[in-house]
């Protein structure tokens, strides 16, 4: 009898502990973490249409898994306008082809940028860019499990230094990315912290190279249904990516 009562009390205690978790639709939350060495390369062509107005076309290739696999390809058309020496706005459209094991996944992305800059000294430039991003994919998804389209807000603080008379401009920046419409189960969260250190080398007044190292700490939350009921598993995937990149830009 005592053994039966003990078993009954243990069962009721376990039910009481699990009840709040089940009622919120979340059974468990776990995390995974990995690191990778990646590379990015590409080019852009910038056309000054009229005073302050620029139109830019760019292509980018990204490699992952220690440079062993293609990650994705970007094709971007952008327009920007400089209202004054310290403020400009821009918008762009991105067509993204993501390489998956089962094939290619295609994404459409749009960005709206607002950038304010300040020169505390003749050779220094500080800038703050706020970027509103919308990304949609060609796959069907349950809005309770995954946002599609996904809305993101990115904030980047950047410092540049003009090393005269050398044709180089070292720079460093910190960027934070925050979700805006993540599913209710996870709530909105910071999904990326990026730091970058680079240098721009001008070949001529119209062309330059951009060499950089970036460290991306990515966090994504994947929600999976646990059977036919309301319970959910939430997995936080963490990625620490070390990225080397080189880009070329020609302007006219």
β-bridge partners, 74: 60, 96
Topology, domain 2-251: Porin (2.40.160)
Residues 6 or more apart whose CB falls under 8 angstroms from that of 10 comprise none
**pLDDT at position 14:** 44
Tell me the per-residue pLDDT of 56-106, one tens digit each, with 9 for 90 and over. Answer: 999 999 999 999 999 999 999 999 999 999 999 999 999 999 999 889 999
Cα-atom radius of gyration of the chain, to the nearest Å? 23
- The label of the residue with tokens 């952008």 reads 78
Q: Say how far apart CA 150 and CA 144 lie, in whole Å.
A: 13
Rounded-to-integer distance, Cα 232 and Cα 226, Å: 5
pLDDT at 229: 60
pLDDT at res. 4: 46
**Class of residue 177 by CB neighbours under 10 A (exposed 0-12, middle 13-18, buried 19+):** buried
pTM of the model: 0.83
Residue ranges of the chain with per-residue pLDDT less than 50: 1, 3-4, 7-8, 10-27
**Per-residue model confidence (pLDDT) at position 233:** 81
What pLDDT shows up at residue 180?
A: 97
Q: Is the dihedral of CA 15, 16, 18, 21 positive or negative?
A: positive
pLDDT tens digits, 108-122: 999 999 999 999 999
pLDDT computed for residue 82 by the predictor: 97
- Positive or negative: CA dihedral 3, 9, 14, 15: positive
CA dist 40 and 61 (Å) reads 6
Measure the CA–CA gap between 154 and 109, rounded to whole angstroms. 14
- The total number of residues shown for the chain amounts to 252
Domain residue spans in the chain? 2-251
């Amino acid at each position: 009898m005592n053994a039966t009562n003990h078993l009954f009390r243990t069962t009721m205690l376990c039910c009481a502990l699990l009840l709040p978790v089940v009622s919120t639709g979340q059974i468990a939350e776990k995390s995974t973490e990995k690191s990778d060495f990646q590379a990015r390369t590409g080019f852009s062509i910038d056309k000054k249409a009229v005073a302050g107005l620029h139109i830019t076309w760019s292509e980018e290739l990204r490699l992952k898994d220690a440079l062993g696999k293609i990650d994705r390809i970007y094709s971007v058309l952008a327009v920007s306008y400089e209202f004054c020496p310290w403020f400009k706005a821009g918008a762009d459209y991105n067509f993204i082809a993501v390489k998956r094991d089962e094939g290619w996944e295609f994404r459409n992305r749009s960005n709206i940028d607002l950038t304010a800059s300040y020169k505390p000294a003749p050779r220094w430039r500080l800038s703050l860019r706020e970027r509103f991003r919308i990304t949609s994919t060609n796959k069907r998804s349950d809005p309770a499990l995954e946002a599609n389209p996904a809305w993101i807000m990115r904030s980047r603080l950047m410092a540049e230094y003009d090393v005269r008379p050398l044709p180089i401009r070292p720079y460093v920046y910190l960027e934070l990315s925050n979700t805006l419409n993540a599913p209710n189960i996870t709530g909105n969260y910071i999904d990326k912290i990026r730091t970058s250190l680079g240098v721009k080398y001008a070949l001529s007044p119209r062309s330059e190279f951009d060499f950089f190292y970036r460290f991306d700490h990515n966090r994504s939350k994947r929600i999976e249904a646990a059977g036919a009921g309301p319970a959910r598993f939430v997995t936080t995937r963490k990625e620490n990516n070390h990225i080397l990149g080189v880009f070329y830009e020609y302007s006219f």
